[in-house]
């Protein structure tokens, strides 16, 4: 499969801070790719370098074969970026903003596509509203529309649903997932790990400017996540000392982390021997949040 985005040994410093320390990864055309990490991991710096907003100190970045430094104009034409910050011009309406954005890429008579974007992002009723009169959530929708207006083959979404309502999140992901099915490459950064787990086929995790994990979402879940057993004891019963040091108190219940589901029977046997009566039992499957915490705590499992 063709490579849509190639990032090779990219380094970036801000004074004494080493924001990126030799990041390398390839994102294939048509992927829905997740870029995850804690605050300060280097995600936004990497996106800024990819978008040409920051110049890397070392390494190379290419979008659809175009070097973002030596062939910056062509690289920008094939890339759409939704930034974290709410950046907008307060003097234009939503439709005017999108027409102007189209003009930056030399696109005229783009109203049919603009109308489709407005409808998909539930902005049609706001098309003639001045940008400064929109709510924060509506402004973020316009940022998404701006990134899509020139139909770029690669879309970067940097925390696109931060602080927005559930309805927008669902509508946005339906639209973006459709674009991805039609062939557009999507790169997502988000702190909503449930979004990343549901949407991304492959994920890279950054920590302190380095890639500490890079694999398919399924492989990461299989390798790092674990099950958990949550037990609620009957009134008056207490957890045996032998199990208390393994358990985490959780809203009147006890949570046990299990390496494998076969650990359940010995745990329940210990409870039976101690005479504990069970009021409720839940077996929980590990998720991407468990994987993330495991890798960040361990320092990474490598790529």
Domain boundary among 203, 222, 241: 222
Tell me, yes or no, whether 77 and 186 share the same domain: yes
pLDDT above 90: residue 187: yes
d(CA 273, CA 202): 45
Domain boundary among 200, 222, 244: 222
Of 275, 232, 224, 291, which Cα lies nearest the Cα of 256?
232
pLDDT above 70: residue 265: yes
Residue 301 lies in a domain: no
Residue identified by tokens 């361990």 is 298
Q: In what order do the strands lie in the sheet with 58-63?
A: 17-28, 3-14, 58-63, 66-67
Tell me, yes or no, whether 92 and 141 share the same domain: yes
- pTM here is 0.82
Residue 290 lies in a domain: no
Name the band, by pLDDT with cuts 50, 70 and 90, for residue 84: confident
Res 154: pLDDT: 97
Question: Taking all residues of the chain, what is their mean pLDDT, rounded to a whole number?
Answer: 90
Q: How many CA atoms lie within 13 A of 40 on its CB side?
A: 4
Mean pLDDT of all residues in 38-55: 94
Tell me, yes or no, whether 86 and 176 share the same domain: yes
Q: Any alpha helices (H) in the chain, and if so which ranges?
A: 43-50, 72-77, 94-104, 111-120, 136-148, 166-181, 193-199, 217-224, 241-244, 264-273, 288-298
Tell me, yes or no, whether 265 and 121 share the same domain: no
Tell me, yes or no, whether 244 and 182 share the same domain: no
More confident residue, 252 or 66: 66
Res 225: pLDDT: 66
d(CA 146, CA 266): 57
Tell me, yes or no, whether 73 and 217 share the same domain: yes
Tell me, yes or no, whether 218 and 230 share the same domain: no
pLDDT above 60: residue 286: yes
Residue 94 lies in a domain: yes
Tell me, yes or no, whether 30 and 179 share the same domain: yes
**What single string gives the DSSP state of each residue in 98-119?**
HHHHHHHTT--S-HHHHHHHHH
Domain containing residue 183: CATH number: 3.40.50.300
Structural domain harbouring 280: 226-285
Query: Percent of the chain beyond pLDDT 70?
Result: 97
């Amino acid at each position: 499969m063709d490579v849509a985005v190639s990032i090779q040994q990219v380094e970036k410093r801000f004074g004494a801070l080493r924001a990126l320390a030799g990041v390398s990864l390839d994102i294939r055309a048509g992927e829905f790719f997740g870029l995850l990490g804690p605050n300060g991991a280097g995600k936004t710096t990497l996106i800024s370098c990819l978008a040409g907003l920051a110049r890397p100190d070392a390494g190379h970045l290419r979008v659809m074969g175009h070097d973002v430094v030596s062939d910056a104009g062509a690289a920008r034409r094939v890339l759409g970026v939704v930034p974290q910050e709410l950046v907008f011009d307060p003097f234009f309406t939503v439709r005017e903003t999108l027409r102007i954005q189209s003009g930056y890429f030399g696109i005229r008579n783009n109203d049919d596509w603009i109308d489709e974007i407005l409808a998909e992002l539930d902005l049609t009723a706001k098309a003639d509203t001045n940008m400064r009169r929109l709510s924060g959530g509506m402004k973020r929708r316009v940022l998404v529309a701006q990134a899509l207006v020139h139909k770029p083959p690669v879309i970067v979404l940097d925390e696109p649903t931060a602080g927005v309502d559930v309805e927008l999140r669902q509508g946005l992901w339906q639209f973006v997932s459709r674009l991805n099915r039609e062939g557009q490459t999507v790169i997502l950064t988000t702190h909503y790990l449930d979004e990343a787990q549901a949407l991304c086929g492959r994920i890279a995790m950054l920590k302190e400017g380095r890639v500490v994990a890079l694999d398919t979402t399924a492989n990461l879940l299989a390798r790092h996540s674990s099950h958990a057993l949550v037990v609620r004891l009957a009134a008056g019963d207490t957890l045996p000392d032998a199990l208390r040091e393994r358990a985490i108190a959780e809203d009147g219940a006890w949570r046990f982390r299990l390496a494998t589901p076969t650990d359940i029977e010995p745990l329940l046997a210990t409870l039976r021997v101690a005479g504990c009566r069970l009021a409720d039992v839940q077996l929980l499957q590990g998720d991407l949040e468990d994987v993330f915490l495991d890798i960040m705590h361990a320092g990474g499992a490598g790529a």
